[in-house]
Amino acid sequence: MILVGFSLSATVMAWGMTTKEFLMPIVWIATIVAFILTFVKKKIGLTVLIVTCFGWLLLFAEYFGHFLTFEADNIVNWGLSAAFVICPLILVILSTKRLVTNKKLKFSVIAISLLIPIIGFGSNYDKTYSRTTFAEFHRINDSTDSYLGRFRAGPADTRFFEIEMNSDEVKELALTKGTYLVGHYYVNNVKLNVRMNFS
């Protein structure tokens, strides 16, 4: 978790876009501190470790749910899930069993830790793919009825998908809120919701 966290933190510092992503390096540093504290002051160390594990679970619950719903066959992404969902779950369970003597409190902490990824999975129950994207609108000033919408994760991302559109509302938004650049309008932070139909 600590080793993968270093790579993740470096990536976030270079390419992070959301507040949630920029919290990851802080939680990673807190996790290292927690591990060191467990050798110096066990009780404080385990408490901090449980808190940081909850931090990882909260940060990755939505990603984990998205991964299970849309990309469970992608073996590479199981590494992130193992490091930041499965490992924190195991650490919360083991740390709570060693630290907490009250049975009700112990059960509550473990139950909440299991509930977080379940809620993350449930957030994708209707198979709606929802992401903030960078949008470009081409041919919007042409006299044709339709225009081209191109969506990508970020301005420099080479991966994108495009669709022919004819919505007057989207066209009006692109013209009023978008920035004109070399034959097209671009708009930052476009929330994209796509309903996926698959079994």
pLDDT digits (tens, 9 = 90+) for 37-61: 999 999 999 999 999 999 999 988 8
Out of 88, 122, 156, pick the residue that ends a domain.
122
The answer to whether 148 and 165 have CB atoms below 8 angstroms apart is yes
Please check whether residues 108 and 30 belong to one and the same domain. Answer: yes
Containing structural domain, residue 172: 128-195
Please check whether residues 100 and 138 belong to one and the same domain. Answer: no
Q: Please, which residues have CB within 8 angstroms of residue 146's CB and are 6 or more apart in sequence?
A: 139, 164, 165, 166
Out of 96, 122, 148, pick the residue that ends a domain.
122
Out of 95, 122, 149, pick the residue that ends a domain.
122
Q: Please, which residues have CB within 8 angstroms of residue 158's CB and are 6 or more apart in sequence?
A: 152
- pLDDT score at 199: 45
Say how many domains are in the chain: 2
* Per-position DSSP letters for 129-161, written without gaps between them: EEEEEEEEEESTTSSSS-EEEEEESSTT-S-EE
- pLDDT score at 34: 93
Please check whether residues 92 and 147 belong to one and the same domain. Answer: no
- pLDDT score at 16: 66
CA gap 112, 105 in Å, rounded:
11
Q: Which residues of the chain have pLDDT under 50?
A: 198-199
Please check whether residues 69 and 165 belong to one and the same domain. Answer: no
pTM over the 0.85 mark:
no
Please check whether residues 31 and 117 belong to one and the same domain. Answer: yes
Please check whether residues 27 and 108 belong to one and the same domain. Answer: yes
